Copies of this chain bind each other. A is one copy, B any other.
């Protein structure tokens, strides 16, 4: 059981977490914070934020590493490392097809994070 385990995400809060109420509505429980914080942490690096966006906004729904890498002044291994971080945070999925590896966003998690951050639009002065 080690076929391509390295390419699979480690966390799958996608299914488990009951899509918690907004952060500004009730205090986030410690356990929920422990699960969700790593996702924010993964987005807390400019390179990963751009990678995430490039993947999520790709027209075909997926992005090839070969298209991602040249967009940065960083070496291949470094980009690969950041992609692994996004993978382990459950934000993206990876699939190898032939020579190339394609990354795909997991919209469920993005929605969950966005929901946590959401605030009533007309609640402020």
Contact = CB atoms under 8 A, between A and B. Distances in A.
Given A27-B54, A40-B40, A46-B37, A114 B117 contact: yes
Interface of A is mostly: helix
Interface string A26-69: 11101001101110111111111110111011000000000000
Contact of A114 (B38, B43, B44, B118): B118
A94 to B, nearest CB: 18
A113 interface: yes
Interface residues of A, number: 42
A107 interface: yes
Interface string A107-118: 110110111011
A23 interface: yes
Per assembly, the copies of the chain total 2
Interface of A: 23-28, 30, 33-34, 36-38, 40-50, 52-54, 56-57, 105, 107-108, 110-111, 113-115, 117-119, 121, 123-124
A60 B36 CA distance: 26
B45 A37 contact: yes
A27 B44 contact: no
A14 to B, nearest CB: 11
